[in-house]
With several copies, the nearest count.
Chain A
Amino acid sequence: MSRILRSSIQQVFVFAALILIYIFFMIFAPNFAQPTIALDIVQQSAYVGVMALGATFVIATGGIDLSVGTGMTFAAVMAGVFLSGDWMNLPLAAGLLLTLLVGAVVGLINGLNISYLGLPPFIATLAMMMVARGLALVISDKSTISIKNSGYIWLASGELIPGVKNAILIFIIMAIIAAVLLNKTLLGRYALAIGSNEEATRLSGVNVKFWKTMVYIAAGVFMALGAILYSARFGFVQPAEGVGFELNVIAAVVIGGTSLSGGRANIIGTVVGALIMETLRKGLQMMGIAQEWQLVVTGIVVLIAVFVDIVRRKRQSTV
């Protein structure tokens, strides 16, 4: 494991960007230089981060998942349906399992549409994005659903390690699981192979349709976990949220160095990508910068970070 970790970090030059950005804010943003801020950043990036871990697999196959934003809301609404006192009021474990199952089903449908009907991932998941949003609104009747299950809320906001929110732990654990899945299992190996050359993979006797579907299912499960982290933080779900989250998720993956054309992926990169976005947001907010300027600065910093990453990558490979 540590070998993988080391070699991955070496490949994540964008890590340097994170450090630089962090140091900048330590100097210029009031009160930024506290450990709690760092923890906040990890906590706040946890749900996007966890979803981005799953999206890394999809992107590794050369696909894309636009449904991850509203799909998250849909899964969270279903968590509410399973667990809320006003609805089914199931035991916590059952509710969690069913929620993950909802995510898996969303992924399964995406996967089937893409693998077996041959729809382009962009279209299949765009359609799912609309359907998930519609269903979230239909099921919740456009009302906030509250999930006042204390165990549920503990999942994200409890502190198994004092001072460290469980969401952070879950994010770390899921990152490790994702790294193992990507580097050490057939799922990851085949995802990369498909992204590299789908036809050659098929002609090697790999059941490409099956494995692609599995990848979308996995992404769906990560999405559902993101939904749990998101809704457990507040103990309620607003069914209209989630629109546009997919871009944050994909951005985290791509900033982390995973190529949208498939074949290469980097889990640590995805984690760093999610952290960069959240650090920027937090730091700029704490500097009290107006939101419109935050947008401009974030855009430019992302450009520079990825550019530096590309330059260093190239230099390394030609030396």
Chain B
Amino acid sequence: MTKLLELKNVSKTFPGVKALQNVHLDLNAGEVLGLCGENGAGKSTLMKVLTGIYKPDPGAEIWLQGEKVQVRDVNHARDLGLSIIHQELNMVPDLTVAQNLYLGRPGSHKAGWVNDAQMNRDAGELFDKLGMSVDPKARIGDLSVARQQMVEIARALSYNSRILVMDEPTAALTIAETEALFGMIRDFVTPETGLIYISHRMPEIEEITDRVSVLRDGQYVGTVTTDEVEMREIISMMVGREVSGDARPRNKVTSDEIVLSVRDLNTKKLLHDINFDVRRGEILGFAGLMGAGRTEVARCVFGADPRTSGEIHVNGKKVDIRTAADGVRAGIGYLSEDRKTFGLLLDQDIKANTVMAAMKDFNIGGFILDNKIRTVGTEYSDRLRVKTPSVNQLLGKLSGGNQQKVVIAKWLVRNCDVLIFDEPTRGIDVGAKEEIYALLEQLCEQGKGIVMISSELPEVLRMSHRIAVMAHGRITGILENEDATQENIMELATVGKAQLNGEVA
């Protein structure tokens, strides 16, 4: 039987980085192939070669159903039936949802004329078919990352391609949407089509894939059939060693001292009477469905967004936070969920990004301490195992997961009393995830208070001492870790709006 797709001998060299070396990959018709590997292993690069975005080094071959092809560019790839959902969002923020869906697509215009009414209708139908509720007329830039991700997925599905690549599609999604996505994937795969699925979330790999191929350091390690192996084995193929995974926190909160206290927080748009405390050495997890308002709580406490009322106390002192600078000064750090827009300076290097929030410690009278910056930059990039030739590399040239590590390093360097991590392990591989968990635990031991927002329930359960669950801009419950299960969290997260209003009334 001919394979739907075969990649042979693919290499790709960037200045100073051999991203791929003689990689092989094959995809059967009718299957979902998982692609796993640590951050920087070369997964995204391989997929970009496949879809015509990068030119591979000479010698690479791409075979589609037994025919050798040369993919010239994005459109050519699409003509060949190849489409991709990129790891980073690729949406045009100033256009509407429908306009984005049909941007650049053959048949989206009649002799140069575009018909927005038609597009809105088509988009509406598409969303109905996929069971999503998104307003086709909404401006993309006004949607949350998760919604934008859903639009990307809808767009990719609507191409009716033979081969669809999804590069970490669920990184921004919560359980409910992930389940919906899996439904769509199952509908998509037919005896004529195939799908390549990249994710760092092993349960997803286990659930959705038929086979899994593994890359390590730009090299092909092997392919296994999902049913036949334990996830542990895949993980050890990826990282070259065993990674153990506890399900629950390994330490207890010992202090009663409250480092962060939020009282009666309200915002114009969404939040309603938010109250919570974080103790010294505690991780307070925030769970909830997409759009529940977790990010908004974080941004508001930190000072990135205005609040209409509410008080914030740090270390028992009331602080007046109106801007992000106030937040940082009060000892709060905030790691954003959207690193590209809110976290990174893509055209600055690793060391500059690492110390960005702590410049006060890296200057004397306004003069920069370059040596100290280099030392600290190197220290943290080693500690977090950022895969890079040097700390002088521009952030834009790192893999997504490695970029995430640098943003984390930024807040570690700053050494705040309260750290708010919004999706801290988004796009981070299993090995590194454990490192970050260990890091969070270390921070706890140092007596910091941590708020961790995560859409992965296992992660929330694994890390949080207590779990606040949000729905519709309210906290619907705060659970002790011992009492929390995936089921009762979901129950609190799906409390209806009407119910909430009733309770309040």
Direct contact of A and B (CB under 8 A): yes
Q: Knowing A203-B324, A205-B327 touch, does A263 contact B93 (C-beta < 8 A)?
A: yes
Check B91–A200 contact: CB distance below 8 A. Answer: yes
Check A205–B357 contact: CB distance below 8 A. Answer: yes
Judge whether A34 is part of the interface by a CB distance below 8 angstroms.
no
Which residues B345-385 have CB closer than 8 A to chain A? 345-348, 352, 356-357, 359, 363, 366-368, 370
Chain B residues within 8 Å of A200, by CB: 89-92, 341-345, 356
Which residues B204-255 have CB closer than 8 A to chain A? none
Judge whether B184 is part of the interface by a CB distance below 8 angstroms.
no
Distance A233 CA – B11 CA, assembled complex (angstroms): 61
Which of B15, B94, B109, B343 makes the CB contact (< 8 A) with A203? Answer: B343
Check A205–B75 contact: CB distance below 8 A. Answer: yes
Q: Mark A205-232, 1 if CB is under 8 A from B, else 0.
A: 1110000000000000000000000000
Check A187–B112 contact: CB distance below 8 A. Answer: yes
Check A205–B345 contact: CB distance below 8 A. Answer: no
Q: Mark A193-210, 1 if CB is under 8 A from B, else 0.
A: 101110111111111000
Judge whether A2 is part of the interface by a CB distance below 8 angstroms.
no
Q: Mark B304-343, 1 if CB is under 8 A from A, else 0.
A: 1000000000000000000111011100001010000111
Chain B residues within 8 Å of A204, by CB: 74, 90, 92, 100, 103-105, 324, 328, 356-357, 410
Distance A319 CA – B14 CA, assembled complex (angstroms): 8
Check A197–B367 contact: CB distance below 8 A. Answer: no
Q: Knowing A184-B114, A185-B367, A206-B359 touch, does A196 contact B74 (C-beta < 8 A)?
A: no
Which of A183, A187, A193, A318 makes the CB contact (< 8 A) with B103? Answer: A193
Measured CB to CB, the closest approach of chain B to A248, in angstroms, equals: 26
Residue of A nearest to B359 (CB): A186
Which of B15, B92, B95, B414 has the most chain A CB atoms closer than 10 A to its own CB? B92
Judge whether B99 is part of the interface by a CB distance below 8 angstroms.
yes
Chain B residues within 8 Å of A189, by CB: 95, 99, 103, 114, 352, 359, 368
Judge whether A192 is part of the interface by a CB distance below 8 angstroms.
yes
Check B15–A318 contact: CB distance below 8 A. Answer: yes
Q: Knowing A186-B109, A192-B95, A196-B348 touch, does A207 contact B370 (C-beta < 8 A)?
A: no
Check B15–A184 contact: CB distance below 8 A. Answer: no
Distance A189 CA – B115 CA, assembled complex (angstroms): 11
Q: Mark A240-271, 1 if CB is under 8 A from B, else 0.
A: 00000000000000000000000110000000
Q: Knowing A186-B109, A205-B104 touch, does A197 contact B92 (C-beta < 8 A)?
A: yes
Distance A264 CA – B94 CA, assembled complex (angstroms): 7
Distance A202 CA – B352 CA, assembled complex (angstroms): 15
Measured CB to CB, the closest approach of chain B to A192, in angstroms, equals: 6
Check A203–B345 contact: CB distance below 8 A. Answer: no
Check B93–A196 contact: CB distance below 8 A. Answer: yes
Which residues A33-56 have CB closer than 8 A to chain B? none
Check B112–A185 contact: CB distance below 8 A. Answer: yes
Measured CB to CB, the closest approach of chain A to B275, in angstroms, equals: 24
Check B368–A185 contact: CB distance below 8 A. Answer: yes
Chain A residues within 8 Å of B93, by CB: 196-197, 263
Which residues B12-40 have CB closer than 8 A to chain A? 15
Check A185–B113 contact: CB distance below 8 A. Answer: yes
Chain B residues within 8 Å of A184, by CB: 113-114, 367-368, 370
Check B15–A197 contact: CB distance below 8 A. Answer: no
Chain B residues within 8 Å of A183, by CB: 368
Which of A186, A189, A202, A318 has the most chain B CB atoms closer than 10 A to its own CB? A189
Q: Knowing A196-B348, A263-B348 touch, does A185 contact B90 (C-beta < 8 A)?
A: no
Chain B residues within 8 Å of A196, by CB: 92-95, 345-348
Judge whether B162 is part of the interface by a CB distance below 8 angstroms.
no
Chain B residues within 8 Å of A264, by CB: 94, 347
Chain B residues within 8 Å of A202, by CB: 74, 304, 323-325
Chain A residues within 8 Å of B75, by CB: 205, 207
Check B334–A203 contact: CB distance below 8 A. Answer: yes
Which residues B463-477 have CB closer than 8 A to chain A? none
Q: Mark A308-319, 1 if CB is under 8 A from B, else 0.
A: 000000000111
Chain A residues within 8 Å of B78, by CB: 205
Distance A204 CA – B327 CA, assembled complex (angstroms): 10
Chain A residues within 8 Å of B367, by CB: 184-185
Chain A residues within 8 Å of B325, by CB: 202, 205-207
Judge whether B268 is part of the interface by a CB distance below 8 angstroms.
yes
Chain B residues within 8 Å of A197, by CB: 90-93, 341, 344-346
Measured CB to CB, the closest approach of chain A to B238, in angstroms, equals: 28
Check A205–B352 contact: CB distance below 8 A. Answer: no
Distance A75 CA – B109 CA, assembled complex (angstroms): 33
Judge whether B157 is part of the interface by a CB distance below 8 angstroms.
no
Judge whether B433 is part of the interface by a CB distance below 8 angstroms.
no
Which of A195, A199, A205 makes the CB contact (< 8 A) with B94? Answer: A195
Check B53–A203 contact: CB distance below 8 A. Answer: yes
Measured CB to CB, the closest approach of chain B to A267, in angstroms, equals: 15
Q: Mark B80-110, 1 if CB is under 8 A from A, else 0.
A: 0000001001111111000110011100010
Check B324–A186 contact: CB distance below 8 A. Answer: no
Distance A192 CA – B93 CA, assembled complex (angstroms): 10
Distance A183 CA – B116 CA, assembled complex (angstroms): 9
Measured CB to CB, the closest approach of chain B to A316, in angstroms, equals: 8
Chain A residues within 8 Å of B112, by CB: 185-187
Which of A196, A199, A204 has the most chain B CB atoms closer than 10 A to its own CB? A204
Check B368–A193 contact: CB distance below 8 A. Answer: no
Chain A residues within 8 Å of B341, by CB: 197, 199-200
Residue of B nearest to A261 (CB): B347
Chain B residues within 8 Å of A185, by CB: 109, 112-114, 363, 366-368
Q: Knowing A184-B368, A193-B352, A204-B410 touch, does A317 contact B15 (C-beta < 8 A)?
A: yes
Distance A89 CA – B37 CA, assembled complex (angstroms): 73
Distance A186 CA – B348 CA, assembled complex (angstroms): 15
Measured CB to CB, the closest approach of chain B to A237, in angstroms, equals: 33
Which of B53, B323, B347 makes the CB contact (< 8 A) with A263? Answer: B347
Measured CB to CB, the closest approach of chain B to A205, in angstroms, equals: 3
Please report A residues at the B interface, Cβ cutoff 8 Å.
Answer: 183-187, 189-190, 192-193, 195-197, 199-207, 263-264, 317-319
Known: A186-B368, A200-B341, A205-B324. 4 other contacts (CB 8 A): A196-B93, A197-B92, A202-B323, A318-B15
- List 7 A-B pairs, Cβ < 8 Å: A186-B366, A193-B352, A196-B93, A201-B345, A202-B325, A204-B104, A205-B78
List of 9 A-B pairs having minimum Cβ-Cβ separation, nearest first: A205-B328, A204-B104, A263-B94, A196-B94, A206-B104, A196-B345, A205-B104, A200-B90, A204-B357
Please report B residues at the A interface, Cβ cutoff 8 Å.
Answer: 15, 53, 74-75, 78, 86, 89-95, 99-100, 103-105, 109, 112-114, 268, 302, 304, 323-325, 327-329, 334, 336, 341-348, 352, 356-357, 359, 363, 366-368, 370, 410, 414
